[in-house]
């Protein structure tokens, strides 16, 4: 995968603080492919979260991620566990690499 160890640790720390320790975090998209260059950092998060808080938590997470890893383009795909799996969730889960 094409994110640094520092970025991986920082991402996990921020996302677990925002979404809880049991949040599942995966990197998906072009950054999983070592042969490619550049591209957004696409992250999939699955967490116990009321759906009313989904967008609020997304903004908080993105703002905090910008603070620790800079204003690079990060896309978050968040699935509250109370929301049914949709096609884009399934694709991210199938192709993503877990971040620990």
Binding residues (CB under 8 A) for another protein: these are: 51-52, 54-56, 58-60, 62-63, 66-67, 71, 80, 83, 86-88
Give the nearest distance from C-beta 60 to another protein in angstroms: 7
- Judged by CB, which is closer to another protein: 30, or 80? 80
- Judged by CB, which is closer to another protein: 33, or 90? 90
Burial of 60 (0-12, 13-18, 19+ CB in 10 A): middle
The Cα–Cα gap between 96 and 80 comes to 17
What are residue 16's DSSP bridge partners? none
- Judged by CB, which is closer to another protein: 1, or 89? 89
């Amino acid at each position: 995968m094409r994110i640094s160890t520092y970025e991986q640790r920082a991402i996990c720390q921020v996302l677990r603080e925002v979404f809880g320790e049991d949040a599942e975090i995966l990197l998906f998209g072009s950054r999983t492919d070592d042969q490619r260059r550049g591209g957004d950092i696409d992250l999939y998060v699955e967490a116990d979260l009321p759906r009313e808080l989904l967008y609020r938590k997304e903004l908080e997470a993105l703002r905090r991620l910008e603070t620790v890893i800079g204003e690079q383009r990060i896309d978050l795909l968040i699935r509250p566990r109370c929301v049914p799996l949709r096609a884009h969730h399934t694709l991210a889960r199938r192709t993503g690499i877990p971040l620990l």
